[in-house]
Structure 1
Amino acid sequence: MKIQKLAFLIVFASSSAFANNNVTLNKVTLFLQGAELQGQSTVSLTKGENEILLTGIANGVKANSINVGFGNDANVKVLSTLFNDNYIDDSEESQEIQSLLEELQKLQEKHDTVEIELKAVSEQVTLLQGNRLDLLVKGANDDLNGMQSALDFIKTNLVTVLNEQNKLQKQLDEIDEQILQCQDKIDKQKASAKNTTNAITVKVYSNKDITLPVTLSYVTNKAGWAPIYDVRVADINSPLQLAYKADIYQNTGLDWQNVDFSLSTSNPSEGVIAPDLVPWYIDIYTQKGGLLKNDGNMSAKKLTVALEDADVYIDDNNDNALTNTSDINTRFEVKLPYTIKSNSNNNILTLQNKEVEAKYHYIAIPKLDSSVYLQAQIVDWDRLNLLPGKSTVFFNGNYIGESFITTKDLKETLDISLGKDKNIFIARNRNVNETSKPSLFGNDISQKYAYTIDVKNAKTLPIDIVVYDQLPIIVNKSVSLDDARYDGATYNKETGELIWEFKLNPSENKNLNLSFKLTYPKDKVNDIIGL
């Protein structure tokens, strides 16, 4: 069996030890939770069974999403794939170990230099000692003066070289000790800091010796994106400018460098099977029996979705992404190669800039809040491919605040709040002239409640405004609601909601009146809830 170690980097990184293996990233598809990474390399296979080790894999890989392919080449078959998130990679030394290795090399070079110097001095010592002494004094012709001079020469030089020899030997011993200490540090570093990484082992069978490209794709849960929006309005007579953005995070452990990039509104972490309904039981609680329990098991049935063959693409020169709505989910194809570093958050990518026709009106709920809010209503909002997300609101070039766009509750219009308008005033006060004190009639108590809502437009433009209030909903039949008056408001009997819709000219005031009478048994006066 042939084992090949391929540095399979999903991004190019100049500092990586795997960067010389000619591996390129094909595509990143980013989901709301998760991302699919696709890459390619070239391998050489021998005839028979081969085992390929792909390293440099992202963190958080879903093992069942791994897909390895060799194109349309029928000579190679994939037998199995195995994901290992604790593979020990010895091909890349840590920076600290590299520094120690460089220090060790310098010590070894110093050791060699001192050792050569020591050998030379030792040779001098040998020359001055032993059997070579007779050669030095033979020329003295048995002259005592000449012999004395020779002895003085030997003594002086021998002392010098012996001191030099001793000095060099101590230096050599010190260097040897430093080498041992440095080697010990390297061994400890390698033992305690083994470089573990993610790897995928692929077993394949090849009909012949062949060199060909291999492609790899898998899904990681360490990346995702969330929709955010910029809402800009110049004035209430201008279209709304909507910037659709993606807030991207990726903690895969790999840098995505100049990749083909797309974002999908799909969420692979969610289930794909529709649930089944089970019987719904209603029982009466008793201290003895408790509540009826449902012991049935929840079952599920598969959901089959039929799609039309036609593809719909939306291309706008102001957009940075091409929108594809041909699938179950919307996909944004980023037009230019994109780079996102690992372990980074708040990478903001603008997907679309749209000019949207909107109807503007003001809303107020004075029972709860004395402020008046500007609201934009968008009719064809379903064509904008929006998802629920935070929005930043700008009006007349000024930052107003943050809001939230939601599409969960299906309505004819998408309502976007644009903040408070301090030039419109509203107040809800009790009308003391119409409000009565509790009155006793037989066994019942009656009381009239009356309120006045005052609205003033201090702007220089006419406005459309909607004011909300409510009448109480009577639950117990022993309580009655009578004589309700609400000055032309629309009344919803099921919810008790009152809605006034009207136009208010510049500097115009309007008064809205609301009143009703409640009657309830006098012996239940302390049991009434809601007053």
Structure 2
Amino acid sequence: MKKSFLSLLFLLTIVFAHAQSQVLFNTSLETVTVYRSGAELNHTVRVNLPAGSSEIILGNIANTIDQNSIQLSAPVNVTILSTTFVRDYLKTENKSAAYVKVEDSLTIAKKDLNAIQNKKAVDENLLVLLDKNQTVGGVSSGLSVAELIKMADYYKTKQLDLKNSIYGYQVLETKQQAKISKLQQQLNELSTDKSGTKGQLLLQVVTKEATTAVFNLSYLSPSASWVPFYDLRAENTATPLKIVYKANVVQYTGVDWKKVKLSLSTATPSQNGTAPLLSAWFLRFGSPNTYRNQSMQNTVQTMESRAPMKTASNRQTADDVDRNLATANNNILNTSFDLDIPYDILSNSKAHSVTLNTYNQPVNYKYYSVPKLESDAFLLAEIANYEKLNLLPGDANIIFENTYVGKSFINPNATTDTLNLSMGRDKKIVVKREKVAEQSGTKLLGSSKKQTFTYEIRLRNGKSEAVNLLLKDQYPVSTDKSIEIELISADGASINTETGVLTWKLTLKPGVTEKVRISYSVKYPKDQTIENL
């Protein structure tokens, strides 16, 4: 009995001894899935564990994480007793390399400034001392004229040297202060990216025998995001539209992502995945606020319907895709892009451009103009079956005929069968809308006033090929019986009587000017005023 007790005491002593020492193991970041807001980071680490209980620290993880999302797997012979997330603010090696470099340069610059200021101060003091001793000898000293001239030349030369030297130090001091100011600004910018602070995971584990174990760690961090953007390139209206699908990835997790397998997902992992249910809505008499809380509690119930974190492997790609870097995976709820090559994304809060796909898309080009609002013609690229491109709302750079023409916005959340992408203004299509004075005017008819408006729209195609143009204008629509509107002439336009929108589908030949006219009248009581006519 005594022997068993001593053996147990010995084992407990070993366990407690191991538990007192904490060993740091830095993890290796293997893969990252970046969501529109947040990211899932996956690490691996190999640790050497003694028999019994141990406390180990897993380092090199994000500085901010959702602790409820931590998933840690270990071999079957290792039992994880507890996990605790902490930040490591104390260690100087947590400063980024860029921060340390600028910090060192700032220290040297301040030291150089101090040396300049010291030298300037010495010369200034010497000049003061020289000025105070100019009267040495005086009139009664018995100095000869030659000796006085020699002394005057010495003072003149010495004062000139000192003043020139002081001025030179002042110039150096100003330049050095400007250098220090720039370094300080750069240091302040680097200090805001949080790359100097990393996280740690404290683990308490137990194993029956000494072993080498591989841990797999994953968690969600809010300190990353991505937004889509595009390059729209077209050589001319006879060639397909090249859509370069890109993403700007930003991360400030404190961990530089070096050569990691990267995926971009449209999912929202932090969003509540439980779907609401409606219960009966009972009405009863009472004050407005009497049953508000009760009805709110009774109206919505929930059922478990957690959306999966990972996308399925059901793959859809465009028929005419130039594959560049990424593979699109779709399921019912979201889309993910798996990048085919490893990426480096530094933790500096700056956007890193990533190319997802390049599509050579057949499109139908047409021009569009609303001269009442804009005097220019806009080139539109009409895309059918655009769902397979997995586009997201985002800004787009437009390059047409090898020239950057501006920015546009892609909104794929349309309810139409085709998607119209604005390719910018084309100054070679000239559109002018002018009022025809001789066919416009005002007449008094008894108690009524009748105003007539006539506009002429001139269009000229300055391009070398014919173009199709969709032209739109409008006439007013009455909402009052006392206001009578008559469309006198629409010059062959398609008319929407509910909205007053007029549409012309025109084919403009090269170098030819086309004209269309619109004329309408508005009759209303002469003692009334229509402000927006």
Structure 2-normalised TM-score?
0.68
Answer whether contact 2:370 2:472 (CA < 8 A) is retained.
Answer: yes
Choose the corresponding residue for 1:397, options 375, 379, 402: 402
Separation of aligned partners in 2, 1:488 and 1:303 = 59
Could you say which residue in structure 2 is the equivalent of 1:149?
Answer: none
The 1:274/1:437 distance shift into structure 2, 3 A limit, reads: farther
Aligned-residue Cα RMSD (Å) equals: 3.5
TM-superposed CA distance for 1:520, in Å, is 2.0
Answer whether contact 2:279 2:301 (CA < 8 A) is retained.
Answer: no
The 1:42/1:26 distance shift into structure 2, 3 A limit, reads: same
Pairs within 5 Å for 1:82-101: 82-85=84-87, 88=90
Question: Secondary structure in 2 aligned to 1:404?
Answer: strand
Answer whether contact 2:37 2:225 (CA < 8 A) is retained.
Answer: yes
Query: Given the alignment of the two structures, is residue 449 of structure 1 paired with residue 453 of structure 2, yes or no?
Result: yes
Separation of aligned partners in 1, 2:95 and 2:235 = 58
Choose the corresponding residue for 1:74, options 48, 73, 76: 76
Could you say which residue in structure 1 is the equivalent of 2:243?
Answer: 242
Question: Secondary structure in 1 aligned to 2:64?
Answer: coil
Count, aligned residues: 407
Name the stretch that deviates more: 388-397 or 473-482.
473-482
TM-superposed CA distance for 1:355, in Å, is 0.5
Question: Secondary structure in 2 aligned to 1:437?
Answer: strand
Separation of aligned partners in 2, 1:411 and 1:369 = 24
Name the stretch that deviates more: 335-344 or 211-220.
335-344
Separation of aligned partners in 2, 1:80 and 1:205 = 10
The 1:422/1:200 distance shift into structure 2, 3 A limit, reads: same
Could you say which residue in structure 2 is the equivalent of 1:31?
Answer: 35
Question: Secondary structure in 2 aligned to 1:237?
Answer: coil
Gaps of 5+ in 2: 1-15, 105-195, 282-286
Residues 366-424 of structure 1: per-residue CA shift (max 9 Å, x gap): 00111111111111211111111111111111111111111133322221111211111
Could you say which residue in structure 2 is the equivalent of 1:319?
Answer: 324
Question: Secondary structure in 2 aligned to 1:252?
Answer: coil
Answer whether contact 1:439 1:445 (CA < 8 A) is retained.
Answer: yes
Could you say which residue in structure 1 is the equivalent of 2:217?
Answer: 216
Could you say which residue in structure 1 is the equivalent of 2:491?
Answer: 487
TM-superposed CA distance for 1:82, in Å, is 2.4
Separation of aligned partners in 1, 2:213 and 2:467 = 70
TM-superposed CA distance for 1:304, in Å, is 4.7
TM-superposed CA distance for 1:303, in Å, is 8.2
Could you say which residue in structure 1 is the equivalent of 2:424?
Answer: 419
Answer whether contact 1:273 1:300 (CA < 8 A) is retained.
Answer: no
TM-superposed CA distance for 1:466, in Å, is 0.5
Answer whether contact 1:55 1:200 (CA < 8 A) is retained.
Answer: yes
Could you say which residue in structure 2 is the equivalent of 1:252?
Answer: 253
Counterpart amino acid of residue 216 in structure 1: L
Separation of aligned partners in 2, 1:374 and 1:529 = 34
Gaps of 5+ in 1: 10-22, 100-194, 281-288
Counterpart amino acid of residue 314 in structure 2: D
Separation of aligned partners in 2, 1:270 and 1:439 = 65
TM-superposed CA distance for 1:276, in Å, is 7.0
Pairs within 5 Å for 1:74-153: 74-85=76-87, 88=90
Answer whether contact 2:23 2:55 (CA < 8 A) is retained.
Answer: no
Answer whether contact 1:8 1:57 (CA < 8 A) is retained.
Answer: no
Question: Secondary structure in 2 aligned to 1:383?
Answer: helix
Question: Secondary structure in 2 aligned to 1:422?
Answer: strand
Separation of aligned partners in 2, 1:76 and 1:251 = 33
Query: Given the alignment of the two structures, is residue 63 of structure 1 paired with residue 64 of structure 2, yes or no?
Result: no
Separation of aligned partners in 2, 1:317 and 1:228 = 18
TM-superposed CA distance for 1:79, in Å, is 4.0
The 1:279/1:381 distance shift into structure 2, 3 A limit, reads: farther
Choose the corresponding residue for 1:428, options 428, 433, 441: 433
Separation of aligned partners in 2, 1:455 and 1:300 = 61
Separation of aligned partners in 2, 1:303 and 1:376 = 44
Separation of aligned partners in 1, 2:414 and 2:362 = 21
Answer whether contact 2:312 2:330 (CA < 8 A) is retained.
Answer: no
